[in-house]
Amino acid sequence: MGGRVRARWAVAALGCTGLLCAVLGAVMIGTLPAITRQQVYKNVRIDPSSLSFGMWKEIPVPFYLSIYFFDVINPKEILQGKKPEVQERGPYVYREFRHKSNITFNDNDTVSFLEYRSFQFQPDRSRGSESDYIVMPNILVLGASVMMENKPMALKLLMTLAFSTLGERAFMNRTVGDIMWGYEDPLVHVINKYFPSMFPVKGKFGLFAGLNNSDSGLFTVFTGVKDFSRVHLVDKWNGLSKVNFWHSDQCNMINGTSGQMWAPFMTPESSLEFYSPEACRSMKLIYQEEGMFEGIPIFRFKAPNTLFASGTDYPPNEGFCPCLRSGIQNISTCRFNAPLFLSHPHFYNADPVLAEAVLGLHPNETEHSLFLDIHPLTGIPMNCSVKLQLSLYIKSIKGIGQTAQIEPVVLPLLWFEERGAMEGEPLRTFYIQLVLLPKVLHYAQYILLALGCVLLFIPVVYQLRSQGPEDTKSQPSPAAQPDRLPSPFTPLLQESLSRQPTSPKA
């Protein structure tokens, strides 16, 4: 008797546990997505209390800037009108350090900041040293010559004399360090002395001299605290809602983010848009594919074929023209009117005529396309590789002897890759909190519901099995009744029958 009572209590306990598990699992299935969205909203906005604020302020991802120079092999032949031939040199790799300062929260749900960058050469990652010599076009001479093409002949002859006096030539042979961070040039001093407002460089002239230990401009972006739909979007850059470098309102618009984080809950229909101060324009990347990075689900975004397309091939880009060819962007209007062009490395995805005009170029998608891998739930970049090329348009200018017989050509100067990938402790923390824990909770809700249903089924089975045999014994068939043992009530029935009168004998 005691064992049966204990069994009933155990079954009842299992039933209660099953009910609790089933209810908890059902509640989790109904509320967990909403709770997850709420937590993501809370922790990806730009707010000192959010989990991602420290990551936004001090980017934990190590960035590396890799420079590949195009060493000109035949400078003398180019001056005679021959086709240029180049050899790729590098990479020369620099560790890039970034940090934000002057962080100011404004009343209109925005935050303003300056982001400073500094670079440190990495010999162990580089193929060569900063003391390597590179032959490349003299940007000051050839760039200024093209800019003077439509000026009076007397002025061009005077420029030829100035170049000769100062010992300036069409091509130069300088070290990587000089080309990157600057070198003393007498032409710069002459220009600054007699034309102080013509040239922005006051000291050394270098392609990256203005980037080291400097900021990329004052960004003002939306925090998403009051209006999450605008989180990370740029409100203004250097106080401007749009730039004035280009020839259409659409091209001058400042769209997207500052290029560090994007809005969460991305879909394959999402796009990545950001403003690049170096390119003086907004850029949009499109979804390519879904994948994994170190166990973390990502969406890969790539540059569309229309990013640097000419206005003829892609009308919305008409504002960036005049365009020499499709696939290269004229950035002279934001680079002191120097005939500089931006493109993918080796003129990848550009008009084939451009690569065919220079020997030594081999464009291919694997080595020369750019991409960003984004965690779609949070909009945080996991892995990125931005590759761009800087080229100079050169040609013979009548009246300027240094340009000799140079045939018109867009000559690559260098291409660079900015690459960064989350790693180490930040990667492990990100994986545990935003991948492993949500995955455990996702499976736990269904496991609880299934376990609850199983435990609820146990009392039902027990009840059916305990009632079945008793019902069979308490309701025997009529054929079996004569063999049944007398019940306690049988004597009373027999006594009442014995008292009835008997019939007389015949």
Residue 218 contacts residue 114 (beta carbons within 8 Å): yes
Helix locations, 395-489, DSSP H: 424-431, 437-474
pLDDT for 450-496, tens place per residue?
A: 877 877 777 777 777 777 555 545 555 554 455 444 544 444 444 44
How much is the mean pLDDT over the chain? 86
* Cβ atoms of 439 and 433 closer than 8 Å: no
Question: pLDDT tier at 505 (50, 70, 90 boundaries)?
Answer: very low
Q: Indicate if the pLDDT at residue 497 is higher than 60.
A: no
- Average pLDDT, integer, range 236-255: 94
Band of residue 195 on the pLDDT scale cut at 50, 70, 90: low
Region for residue 254 given its phi and psi (left: phi exceeds 0; alpha: psi -120 to 50; beta: otherwise) = beta
Predicted confidence band of residue 440 (pLDDT cuts 50, 70, 90): confident
Answer positive or negative: Cα dihedral of 117, 121, 124, 130: positive
Measured between its terminal Cα atoms, the distance across the chain in Å is 60
pLDDT recorded at residue 199 = 66
Q: Residue 236: which H helix or E strand, with range?
A: strand 234-237
Q: How many CB atoms lie within 10 A of CB 23?
A: 13
pLDDT at 433: 77
- pLDDT on residue 29: 77
Give residue 402's pLDDT: 93
Evaluate the CA torsion angle 370, 376, 94, 308 in order and state its sign.
Answer: positive
- What span, in angstroms and rounded, lies between the C-alpha atoms of 88 and 492? 120
Q: What pLDDT is stored for residue 106 in this prediction?
A: 94
> In degrees, to the nearest 5, what angle opens at C-alpha 153 toward C-alphas 395 and 247?
60
Q: List residues bridging with 38 in a β-sheet.
A: none
Do 52 and 433 contact (CB within 8 A), yes or no?
A: no
Residue 250: partners with Cβ closer than 8 Å, 6 or more residues away: 316, 319
Q: How many CB atoms lie within 10 A of CB 312?
A: 11
3-state secondary structure of 277: coil
Binned at pLDDT 50, 70 and 90, residue 417 comes out as: very high
3-state SS of 203-223 is: CCECCCCCCCCEEEEEEEEEC
Higher-pLDDT residue of 199 and 293 is: 293
Q: Which residues are within 8 A (CB) of 33 and not within 5 positions of it... i.e. 6 or more apart? A: none
Distance separating alpha carbons of residues 278 and 418, to the nearest angstrom: 12
> For the residues 262-280, what does the mean pLDDT come to?
93
**Phi and psi angles of residue 380, each rounded to the nearest 5 degrees, phi first:** -95, 130
pLDDT at 282 over 80: yes
The answer to whether the CB of 182 falls within 8 A of the CB of 206 is yes
The DSSP bridge partners found for residue 462 are none
Radius of gyration of the chain (CA): 39
Quick: pLDDT tens for 145-158: 998 888 899 989 98
Is residue 131's pLDDT more than 70?
A: yes
| 172-186, 313-327, 421-435: segment of lowest average pLDDT | 421-435
> Among 176-185, 305-314, 484-493, which is the least confidently predicted range?
484-493
Higher pLDDT, 294 or 210: 294
Query: What's the mean pLDDT in 427-455?
Result: 80
Q: Alpha-carbon distance 364 to 357, whole Å? A: 17
Check residues 196 and 224 and name the one with the higher pLDDT: 224
pLDDT given at position 506: 33
User: Lowest mean pLDDT: which of 19-33, 82-96, 313-327, 376-390?
Assistant: 19-33
* Both structure tokens of 448: 């609880």
**The pLDDT of residue 414:** 97
pLDDT value for 236: 95
Question: Of the given ranges (59-68, 314-323, 422-431), which has the lowest mean pLDDT?
Answer: 422-431
For residue 498, what pLDDT is reported? 47
Position 14, amino acid:
L
Would you give the DSSP letter of residue 301?
E
DSSP codes of every residue in 333-394: GGTTT--EEEESGGGTTS-HHHHHTSBT----HHHH--EEEEETTTTEEEEEEEEEEEEEEE
Helix, strand, coil percent content, the chain, rounded in steps of 5: 40, 30, 35
Which of 8-12, 391-395, 436-440 comes out lowest in average pLDDT? Answer: 8-12
Q: What is the pLDDT of residue 487?
A: 47
Share of the chain above pLDDT 70, in %: 89
Q: How many CB atoms lie within 10 A of CB 498?
A: 8
**pLDDT of 445 higher than 60:** yes
In the predicted structure, residue 44 carries a pLDDT above the cut 60: yes
pLDDT tens by residue, 197-224: 666 677 788 899 878 888 989 999 999 9
Residue 330 has pLDDT above 80, yes or no: yes
Q: Which of 393, 394, 343, 391 is nearest to 369 (CA)?
A: 343
Residue range 47-73, pLDDT digits in tens: 998 888 888 888 878 999 999 999 999
Whether the CB-CB separation of 22 and 448 falls below 8 Å is answered with yes
**Amino acid 270: pLDDT:** 94
What pLDDT sits at residue 480? 47
Q: What is the pLDDT of residue 49?
A: 87
Residue 188 to residue 171: CA distance in whole angstroms: 16
Query: Which of residues 469 and 185 earns the better pLDDT score?
Result: 185
Residue type at 403? T
Instruction: Tell me what pLDDT residue 472 has.
Output: 47
Is 377 a residue whose pLDDT tops 60?
A: yes
Q: What is the DSSP letter of 127?
A: S
